Structure 1
Amino acid sequence: MASSLTKDSVRPGTPGSEKTFFGHPRGLATLFMTEMWERFSFYGMRALLVLYLVAPAAKGGLGFAAATGAAIYSVYNATVYLLAMPGGWIGDRLWGPRKTVAVAGTIIMIGHFLLAVPVQACFFVGLVFIAVGSGLLKANISTMVGHLYPDRNDARRDGAFTVFYMGINLGAFVAPLLIGWVADVTNWHFGFALAGVGMALGLGQYLLGTRHLSPISSQVPQPVDAAERAALLKKAGLWAAAAAVFYGVVVATGSFTIDWVLWPLSLMGLALPAFYFTRMRRDKELTADDKSKITGYVWFFVVAAVFWMIYDQSGSTLNLFANDHTANKLWGFHFPASWFQSLNPLFVMALAPVIATLWIKLGHRNPSTTVKFALGLVGIGVSFGVMMLAMGAASGDAKVTPLWLCAVYLIQTVAELCLSPVGLSVTTKLAPQKYASQMMGLWFLAVTAGDCLAALTQLVVGDSFLSTTSFAIQGVIAALGGLGFLAYRKKVIKLMGDVH
């Protein structure tokens, strides 16, 4: 596929005339295809995950309660983003981005094939493999896109990330349709296996195409010295031993349940961002202006965490609603519930250029970052207001029209496009020089914090999390939070100093 989109150089040796991919370096095709297949495997598996967890054993599932299945999904998703920080560190300090992505793809592929084994222990080990591999890959593959353009002022640089972003959404769009259909007509494990095949294809073409990547991607920017490596191994060993002893005691006493994993991970996902922010605020090397900007950024982080708490329930709460309360028939056509997971990437591909053009057309009237964040949070709250109405319409055994979920995903996509792209931008602007990379990691931790909030909510309220009351409360909290942030924005802008 990639080769059909490339063009040979007509002037060998002339910069910019080498074999290209839509006018970009040939290495972008390698990274585009790798990311597309990785997202194919990830989103295809994700579309099945909560449905498989709650399906009764008679239907081939694991038979968890709906709340527990949703919490497992939320914690799993949180862990993927949590591991992006150590994944970036490994690329920077141990292996270099190119090797790290190769190892990541292998781990992800093994994880998906473990899910295909009809043994519960293999399933959960497979989830760990996919989470670890995704964390390794996420932080490093985007870095290699940047490596293709050594000149930071290269006009093709921004366009490259747009093309790369389309690969993400293309894989995310196709995966639920194909993998969901395979699981529906055969069984869950064939669906998980197909996700593994997708990652295998991505890994294979990555290994074949690495010669087109920048030589910089093979380098380790800041190698760990022997003393630091020994200290890290010692700390990791102590933590691993402590965890092994603790869980050994829990298992030996017959007390172990899945909650012993879900609760600690959820609380850790909330504690880590607080720890990082506190450490940075107390750094005596930072100026008063740096600390003020970090304080301002905390507000953006909190808004983002609440946003992702609701948004990321698309694969859990909304997926369960699609399966249990939504008619899987539209205009005479029957389809699996997992197909709804393709709506968001479809809407993103359709609306992202429109929203980006709108911001440009508005010129000096373009809303500030604080206003866009507020709009995103209000929008995600409105989406759960619509879900409240949909849940009310699905009372008893009635199944509602699929158009309810179509409307919800459309609203959520518009809200995402208001908040997510500018979140990356404001992170880079407010980060002190000393913490430039770590602040980007903190942005990903906002997703972790949001998913952990969702998991804790699901564990506390039980199966009533899928109710009109739950949708209403979460929607009102988000909408009021967005309005509150809008009202407070002048104080936040003041904390931001010279950043606008």
Structure 2
Amino acid sequence: MADGSARDDKSAFAVLYRLSAIEVWERLSYYLLMTLLVLFLTAPVARGGFGWEAVAALSLYGGLVAAMQVLPVFGGALSDRLLGPARALRFGAVLMLAGHFTLAGPHTIPFVWAWCDPAFDRASFFATRTKLQFGMGDLADQLITGSFYTGLALVALGNALFKPNISAIIGRLPFANPASRDAAFSLFHMFANLGGLIAIVLGGWVAMRLGYGPAFTLAGFGMVAALVLIRRYRAAIEGAIVPMATGGAAPSPTLRTEGAAHGWILPASMVLIVVTLFGVTLFQMLGTLNLYAASRVEASLLGVDFPVVWILSMNPVVMLLVMPPLARLWRAGRGPGAKLLLSAKAATGFFFLAVAFAGLSLAEGLAGDARVPAGALAATIALITLAELLVGPSALSSITRIVPARHGALAVGLFYGALGLGGYLSGHIGASAETLGFGTVFMLIASACAATCIVLAGLQRAAARIGL
């Protein structure tokens, strides 16, 4: 590595770590919401939930996942054409901050109402309701559910601006080579999962001990921290964007050599197809597997019970254990998977997914009427995480490398849009467990992942010809 490339790589990683610190707090807010959403919607009204059926809760979850992932397509386009990535990042963070605090409305509105109207009896209000639905009931009902939907809308709109631009900025950094670039996106992904780990452990404890309102409020304070860091690192972030924002040359020869040509469309389309298929399986973790953990898994260790959502912490735990040494090796061009193209990594990832869901289906069948041990679900999530390590960061790195610089944020938005389409489908697939049963759904997912693995393995030569 030449001295200039080494200096550029070092400066690129310095900015990466600043952006990663911001991402930790933003992901804490995001994962706290997504981890608790289905549990909150299905919890009885008397226990602070909305009392929905599982099918309705999973349908809303799938729709929100889709919105969270598809809206960045428009947010990225708006950034590329009008706002610029740094400004869009700030605007998005402010909207998400407002959204997360608004989500605490269903739990603060009854207190405010009782303070304004002494005749309002909170206990009686919740005791006489089995379900809270949007647009139904009296004024108090509508304010409670309306604040919830308003909060979701603000978070989704803020995410549409924030999500594509923080990754697009990383895509514009002057990394020395493609392996270093993949390592950077993997490290960024690891820091995002650190935020997820804090959200699952702390958010699960707060929701269990204090209720869902304080848990959603905690998510709002996560965005406060993110905004403080955005302001503190503003100069470094905007400095990293200058070469692209002024129309200059790409900071590294590894970026978007296709330029004005249309040769990037086919490889980008292939990446998006893989990402969509991956999203269908990945988002089962916070939806179907979340409900499965609550209803079928024994959440205890050595006779001590713990919040069921803590089992999901296996995802960020594995990420934090595996990713740092792996990224260090990839940055140096060594280690398992360092020389593999995206098609090979994706085939391996879908193999892990097939094994994970087939194993969980087997555990469900063997358990019968008894609860499934927590270790079985934890092993499933660990395998899903290994697949995520192989597919997610490399696919995002590839899309930012392939697509021309002038469409940088839009490219990232399309990546998340494809992931969101998969998330939307995941909600419908998960909802079918009500009629088919968890074991059958898990085996169907395993079969689909195995088929995808075989197809990707067979297409490796063709994919290699277009750099995938």
TM range (shorter): 0.7 to 0.9
- Note the alpha carbon deviations across 1:385-423, whole angstroms, 9 max, x for none: 122123224433x22211011100111111122222332
Does 1:104 find its partner at 2:80?
A: no
CA 1:58–1:372 in 2, change beyond 3 Å: closer, same or farther? same
For 1:137, the equivalent position in structure 2 comes to: 162
Does 1:70 find its partner at 2:58?
A: yes
How far does residue 208 in structure 1 lie from its aligned partner after superposition? 4.1
For 1:95, the equivalent position in structure 2 comes to: 83
- Counterpart-to-counterpart distance in 2, 1:481 and 1:410: 20
Residue identity in the other structure for 1:110: A
The answer on whether the counterparts of 1:464 and 1:470 sit within 8 Å (CA) in structure 2 is no
CA 1:472–1:146 in 2, change beyond 3 Å: closer, same or farther? closer
For 1:320, the equivalent position in structure 2 comes to: 291
Larger deviation: 49-58 or 178-187?
A: 49-58
1:114 to 79, 99, 102: 102
The answer on whether the counterparts of 2:70 and 2:414 sit within 8 Å (CA) in structure 1 is no
Does 1:371 find its partner at 2:344?
A: yes
- Note the alpha carbon deviations across 1:329-382, whole angstroms, 9 max, x for none: 112332111212221111112122455548824699x54432221121222122
SS in 2 for 1:499: coil
For 1:259, the equivalent position in structure 2 comes to: none
- Note the alpha carbon deviations across 1:160-214, whole angstroms, 9 max, x for none: 6565444322211111111110110011111111111121122234334434543
Does 1:124 find its partner at 2:97?
A: no
SS in 2 for 1:360: coil
- Counterpart-to-counterpart distance in 2, 1:337 and 1:403: 12
Higher relative contact order (CA 8 A, sep 6+): 2
1:38 to 23, 26, 32: 26
- Note the alpha carbon deviations across 1:66-105, whole angstroms, 9 max, x for none: 1221221122112111122222223222222222222211
The answer on whether the counterparts of 2:361 and 2:442 sit within 8 Å (CA) in structure 1 is yes
How far does residue 117 in structure 1 lie from its aligned partner after superposition? 1.2
CA 1:338–1:497 in 2, change beyond 3 Å: closer, same or farther? same
1:207 to 231, 255, 264: 231
For 2:300, the equivalent position in structure 1 comes to: 329
The answer on whether the counterparts of 2:279 and 2:422 sit within 8 Å (CA) in structure 1 is yes
For 1:179, the equivalent position in structure 2 comes to: 203
Does 1:497 find its partner at 2:468?
A: no
- Counterpart-to-counterpart distance in 2, 1:388 and 1:25: 42
- Counterpart-to-counterpart distance in 1, 2:411 and 2:235: 32
- Counterpart-to-counterpart distance in 2, 1:308 and 1:331: 34
How far does residue 466 in structure 1 lie from its aligned partner after superposition? 4.8
For 1:452, the equivalent position in structure 2 comes to: 424
The answer on whether the counterparts of 1:51 and 1:320 sit within 8 Å (CA) in structure 2 is yes
The answer on whether the counterparts of 1:98 and 1:218 sit within 8 Å (CA) in structure 2 is no
Does 1:385 find its partner at 2:410?
A: no
Residue identity in the other structure for 2:64: Y
Unaligned runs of 5+ in 1: 1-14, 16-21, 224-284
- Counterpart-to-counterpart distance in 2, 1:363 and 1:318: 28
For 1:470, the equivalent position in structure 2 comes to: 441
CA 1:469–1:190 in 2, change beyond 3 Å: closer, same or farther? same
2:388 to 412, 416, 423: 416
SS in 1 for 2:52: coil
Residue identity in the other structure for 1:371: A
Residue identity in the other structure for 1:370: S
Number of equivalences? 409
CA 1:156–1:62 in 2, change beyond 3 Å: closer, same or farther? same
How far does residue 218 in structure 1 lie from its aligned partner after superposition? 8.5
Residue identity in the other structure for 1:138: K
For 1:57, the equivalent position in structure 2 comes to: 45
- Counterpart-to-counterpart distance in 2, 1:387 and 1:374: 20
The answer on whether the counterparts of 1:96 and 1:220 sit within 8 Å (CA) in structure 2 is no
- Counterpart-to-counterpart distance in 1, 2:16 and 2:391: 27
The answer on whether the counterparts of 2:76 and 2:410 sit within 8 Å (CA) in structure 1 is no
The answer on whether the counterparts of 1:88 and 1:136 sit within 8 Å (CA) in structure 2 is yes
CA 1:165–1:298 in 2, change beyond 3 Å: closer, same or farther? closer
CA 1:438–1:109 in 2, change beyond 3 Å: closer, same or farther? closer
For 2:132, the equivalent position in structure 1 comes to: none
The answer on whether the counterparts of 2:75 and 2:410 sit within 8 Å (CA) in structure 1 is no
Unaligned runs of 5+ in 2: 5-9, 107-143, 248-259
- Counterpart-to-counterpart distance in 1, 2:161 and 2:320: 26
- Note the alpha carbon deviations across 1:425-459, whole angstroms, 9 max, x for none: 44356547886664443322221121122233345
- Counterpart-to-counterpart distance in 2, 1:79 and 1:417: 24
Q: If the length of structure 1 is used for normalisation, what is the TM-score?
A: 0.72
- Counterpart-to-counterpart distance in 1, 2:276 and 2:419: 6
For 2:127, the equivalent position in structure 1 comes to: none
- Counterpart-to-counterpart distance in 1, 2:156 and 2:424: 15
For 2:139, the equivalent position in structure 1 comes to: none
- Counterpart-to-counterpart distance in 2, 1:455 and 1:478: 17
- Percent sequence identity is 29
The answer on whether the counterparts of 1:92 and 1:222 sit within 8 Å (CA) in structure 2 is no
CA 1:393–1:69 in 2, change beyond 3 Å: closer, same or farther? farther
How far does residue 133 in structure 1 lie from its aligned partner after superposition? 0.9
- Counterpart-to-counterpart distance in 1, 2:242 and 2:455: 47
- Counterpart-to-counterpart distance in 1, 2:64 and 2:206: 23
2:216 to 192, 203, 227: 192
CA RMSD of aligned residues (A): 3.5
1:405 to 377, 387, 399: 377
The answer on whether the counterparts of 1:36 and 1:168 sit within 8 Å (CA) in structure 2 is yes
- Counterpart-to-counterpart distance in 2, 1:108 and 1:96: 18
- Counterpart-to-counterpart distance in 2, 1:331 and 1:294: 54
- Counterpart-to-counterpart distance in 2, 1:219 and 1:368: 28
- Counterpart-to-counterpart distance in 1, 2:389 and 2:465: 25
- Counterpart-to-counterpart distance in 1, 2:190 and 2:274: 26
The answer on whether the counterparts of 2:297 and 2:373 sit within 8 Å (CA) in structure 1 is yes
Q: If the length of structure 2 is used for normalisation, what is the TM-score?
A: 0.77
Does 1:168 find its partner at 2:192?
A: yes
CA 1:368–1:88 in 2, change beyond 3 Å: closer, same or farther? closer
The answer on whether the counterparts of 1:83 and 1:131 sit within 8 Å (CA) in structure 2 is yes
- Counterpart-to-counterpart distance in 1, 2:383 and 2:179: 31
